[in-house]
Amino acid sequence: MDHAIAVHDLVVERGRRRVLHGVSCAVPRGSVTGLLGPSGSGKTTLMRAVVGVQTVRSGSVTVLGRPAGAASLRSRVGYLTQAPSVYADLTVRENARYFAVLQGRGRAEADRAVADVGLAEAAGQLVGTLSGGQRSRASLACALVGEPELIVLDEPTVGQDPVLRADLWARFHALAATGTTLLVSSHVMDEAARCDRLLLIREGRLIADDTPDAVRAAAGVDDLDEAFLRLIRAGGTVGGTGGSADPPRGATRPGDAAGGRS
């Protein structure tokens, strides 16, 4: 299978603490993959490794066929940080236009990205005067503006009202339908059901890598929240990158929690 992201045995330490313990996973192209887990589980660290800004201890991350962080990837990968990283003292439009130029795009693309996140009316407003939800959408517009092949979004829907959240997810799927790959993190389980595939991560270990249906089937419940809980209690891993579910395996050695390589 052609993978947009392939992570192999990734170990990351921040300070003296080990944040990722040998994570392996793969993200297929043209899909929306959810990266779910409680806060502090290592989601952001994994995403930073994918966009190539995280110092890694060992293991490899391959993105669109190149090592993560390679110079040639900078125009092919879009990254939304968890805290909105836009200039508060510029307007939404000015922000989008600046990031558009960095990605070799023009004003039209910038204005379209602003409209796509529902900020057309606030385009002339300073980002510093926006609400928290609007501000993170302004940041999202700047990540989408270059029409990258891979979009890495760290909690893009936090603070958005339900209607906007539904709109944003529809937008993500529309992008995936055109061949774009999206890796979207969330700590809200009801968003997991909207993903084509799920990566469940806890305490720096991957505990599931499968479709939402397969995760439900593996745990034997319909509710993904409950399924996640059961998987944690079972302490096991499910699934592979092929899409079919393996039953949870109870006796997994620590450090081999990556799953999918049975």
Partner 1 sequence: MSPRILAATTGRILRQLRHDRRTVALLVVVPALLLTLVNFMYADQPTPPGRPSMFDRVALVLLGVFPFVIMFLVTSIAMLRERTSGTLERLLTTPLGRLDLLFGYGIAFGVAAAGQAAIAAAVAYWVFGLSTAGSSALVIGIAVVNAVLGVALGLFCSAFARTEFQAVQFMPVVVIPQLLLCGLFVARDEMAGWLQAVSYALPLSYAVEALQEVGAHADPTGTMWRDLGVVAGAVVLALVLAAATLRRRSG
Give contact residues for partner 1 (rule: CB under 8 A): 13-15, 51-55, 69, 71, 74-75, 77, 79, 81, 83-91, 94, 98-99, 101-104, 126, 142, 146
Residue number with CB closer to partner 1 (15 or 162): 15
Crossing angle of the two packed helices 132-144 and 162-177, in degrees rounded to 10: 10
Phi, psi of 9 (to 5 degrees): 50, 50
Q: Are 224 and 210 in contact (CB under 8 A)?
A: no
Residue number with CB closer to partner 1 (93 or 216): 93
Q: Are 200 and 215 in contact (CB under 8 A)?
A: yes
Residue number with CB closer to partner 1 (88 or 188): 88
Residue number with CB closer to partner 1 (11 or 90): 90
Distance CA 212, CA 194 (A): 8
Minimum CB separation of residue 100 from partner 1 in Å reads: 9
Residue number with CB closer to partner 1 (126 or 193): 126
Cα 176 versus chain centre, distance: 13
Minimum CB separation of residue 60 from partner 1 in Å reads: 14
Q: Are 81 and 98 in contact (CB under 8 A)?
A: no
Instruction: At 133, list the tokens.
Output: 């939800």
Q: What single-letter amino acid sits at 4?
A: A
Minimum CB separation of residue 146 from partner 1 in Å reads: 8
Residue number with CB closer to partner 1 (39 or 262): 39
Strand partners, 202: 205
Strand partners, 34: 184, 198
40 contact partners, CB below 8 Å, separation of at least 6: none
Minimum CB separation of residue 132 from partner 1 in Å reads: 14
108 contact partners, CB below 8 Å, separation of at least 6: none
Minimum CB separation of residue 137 from partner 1 in Å reads: 15
Minimum CB separation of residue 85 from partner 1 in Å reads: 3
